[in-house]
Amino acid sequence: MKKDELEAILEQGDLGPIDGYLEMVATEPRLPVVAIGMCMLRMEEAAPALRAILARGANGETLSDDEAKLLFRGVYMLGGARDKEACRDLLRLLRRPEAELDDLLGDGLTQTMARIVAGMFDGDVEALLSLITDRSVEQFARDQIFGAATFLTWNGDIPLDRMRRLLVAFHEDKLAEDEDQAWYGWQRAIALLGLRDLAPMVHRAIDDGRIPDWMLGRGEFDDVLAEAEQRPGDISRFEEAYLGYIADVVEALEWTDYDDAADQLSDDDLDTLWMPTEPVRNPLRHVGRNDPCPCGSGKKYKKCCLANQG
């Protein structure tokens, strides 16, 4: 539903309290497009409840299924609304243990979190970058924070010199284990920001095995770096890397919705079809990089499906 359509509904009046729409966001198994749209248009009313559930998640409180769904969809909504007041709690949430993040965010952590963080960023550079340097933070969360910081550096919210110091220290102090996902965020930052003087560090990291070939290989890294030098002000470079801001919350959440083809299936098919009622999760996420790939190819996971995820 487009903004003008929602605004037309608003003009009709008698829309009821925002609590009703928040309840739909928390309970509807299918993506509640109208409810999300109404909450976005009435974010001043919706934000307190969304911030509150985010804070509870950041505190590690046990949430009901409906509360967990509200948190999951709510962080997209707060990110899309660029709600700065929620930033501190979002960063606290991203420090939670891996199992908790998987339960609450599923693949939302890897799909959209960089854009959510960028939207909520409140200007506290050190608070944001501290997640990147903290080895205890889950590796995919660090990668996504790297992505947000890269975009925020490009648009001027983070000083380039500060980001450069972080990138150098990450390599020199080896702030992640070899083949950790955070290295992907590190090398992508150097390439997208056009930091040619740091390219030798990336090449050394590749040669040393810190960055395996299923991340950006030397040739691809050099191509992205050259493109950044040729088109430094072109935001489309970041959009192609799924970095930036959330422009449309419903569109950003569409990947979590049911497959429309399910409507055409028989009752027997529906009985066996997995219908997501919680954040979608990647079933391969916890397969070890050196384990046999679950697809049955006979190759190691890192040389097969993991390499093809990008």
Q: Does 297 fall in a domain? A: no
Question: In the numeric block, which tokens belong to residue 287?
Answer: 């397969």
Q: Does 310 fall in a domain? A: no
Total domains present in the chain: 1
Q: Does 37 fall in a domain? A: yes
Per-residue model confidence (pLDDT) at position 148? 98
Give residue 269's domain range.
3-274
Integer CA distances (angstroms), 141 to 97, 117, 138, in order: 11, 10, 5
Q: Does 301 fall in a domain? A: no
Contact indicator for 232, 194 with CB cutoff of 8 Å: yes
Return the residue matching tokens 């609304």.
81
Per-residue model confidence (pLDDT) at position 310? 45
Q: Does 86 fall in a domain? A: yes
**Per-residue b/e over 295-308, b at no fewer than 16 CB within 10 Å?**
eeeeebbbbbbbbe
pTM assigned to the model: 0.83
Return the half-sphere exposure (C-beta side, CA atoms, 13 A cut-off) of residue 114. 25
Q: Does 212 fall in a domain? A: yes
Of 29, 28, 4, nearest to 276 by C-alpha is 29
Which spans in the chain are helix H?
3-11, 18-27, 33-41, 43-58, 65-80, 87-93, 98-105, 108-111, 113-120, 125-133, 139-154, 160-172, 182-192, 199-207, 218-230, 236-240, 249-253, 267-272
Secondary structure of residue 272 in the 3-state scheme: helix
Per-residue model confidence (pLDDT) at position 275? 44
Q: Does 157 fall in a domain? A: yes
The one-digit pLDDT tens for each residue of the chain (310 residues) are: 455 655 555 555 556 899 999 999 999 999 999 999 999 999 999 999 999 999 999 999 999 999 999 999 999 999 999 999 999 999 999 999 999 999 999 999 998 999 999 999 999 999 999 999 999 999 999 999 999 999 999 999 999 999 999 999 999 999 999 999 999 999 999 999 999 999 999 999 999 989 987 888 889 999 999 999 999 999 999 999 999 999 999 999 999 986 544 444 455 554 444 444 456 555 445 555 445 565 655 454 544 665 555 4
Q: Does 263 fall in a domain? A: yes
